[in-house]
Amino acid sequence: MQASDYLRMKFQSERQLAVYGQQGVISTWRAIKEIGTDIYAGVERVSWYSSCVIPGYRDVCQELIAEEKRMHRSVLSLYRYRNVISHMFRLYFETIIDDSKNGNPSGRVRSVNAKITKVADHVMTGRAMRLAIALSLANALAASELVTRVVIERLSRRVPVIVLAFQLIGTDQKCALAARRLKQLDPEYYQALYQAEIEMLYYFIEPVLAGLIKHYQMHFLNDFQGFHNYIKEVLHV
């Protein structure tokens, strides 16, 4: 079962997800700590809604309402895409795989691993080939143990019914703040997720993808081949 399947389960059956959490995916104390941060985030978001009754802060209120709508659309998108986690990774790779941005004016993919792309070196590539590369890398990451573990850790939290509302609101708050961080970190990728109506789900893979984005921007700009090798070495995909 892949990360996207667990994400769907969150919205289908809290009871089913609890079973996976009880199988030792996360420790009890870590779960308790994370539940606390969810509740705190929920209280924080509720307090922000006070801006709706303050004339000078109507823009804040409108932003919060817009985020709630986007969260709803993102949840619906769980069922629009067969593997939403893979699709999110794919969209990121598509934004950086453009030949002109990766020091490849001849339009060739150089020394790309044939195991991942199933194509030979120095083959002329177009839109279809770039999509194949992005999809292969995305599927490998989405199926990896690391990504699955990260998603489960952010989902497998149990709380008493009396505080469930605050936890749910807290999850919305964390998703919204993660989307805001992504917008600052990589506006182009954020826009790609926004158009796909899944930017609020970025929170669930942020621990993995945020590091990759920063590493690419700092060390591999205009060098997709180097970035590809880095992902293979560090994430073992």
- In this prediction, residue 129 has a pLDDT band, given cuts at 50, 70 and 90, of confident
- 8 A C-beta contact, residue 199 and residue 190: yes
- 8 A C-beta contact, residue 204 and residue 11: no
Q: 96: burial class by Cβ within 10 Å (0-12, 13-18, 19+)? A: buried
Identify the residue whose tokens are 């293979």. Answer: 232
- 8 A C-beta contact, residue 85 and residue 137: no
**Farthest-apart Cα atoms in the chain, separation:** 62
- Reported as a single tens digit per residue, the pLDDT across 31-61 is 445 555 666 676 777 777 777 877 777 788 8
In the predicted structure, residue 161 carries a pLDDT above the cut 70: no
User: Which is more confidently placed, 71 or 41?
Assistant: 71
Classify the phi-psi angles of 61: left when phi > 0, otherwise alpha if psi is within -120 to 50, otherwise beta: alpha
d(CA 133, CA 225): 11
In the predicted structure, residue 122 carries a pLDDT above the cut 60: no
Provide the pLDDT for residue 10. 62
Domain ranges (residues) in the chain? 3-235
Nearest to 224 by CA among 106, 93, 127, 75: 93
pLDDT averaged over every residue in the chain: 74
Q: Please, where are the H alpha helices in the chain?
A: 3-12, 14-20, 28-48, 58-77, 84-96, 114-117, 127-142, 145-155, 161-185, 187-195, 206-215, 224-235
Provide the pLDDT for residue 167. 60
d(CA 30, CA 177): 21
In the predicted structure, residue 120 carries a pLDDT above the cut 50: no
- In this prediction, residue 28 has a pLDDT band, given cuts at 50, 70 and 90, of very low
- pTM (predicted TM-score): 0.72
- In this prediction, residue 151 has a pLDDT band, given cuts at 50, 70 and 90, of confident
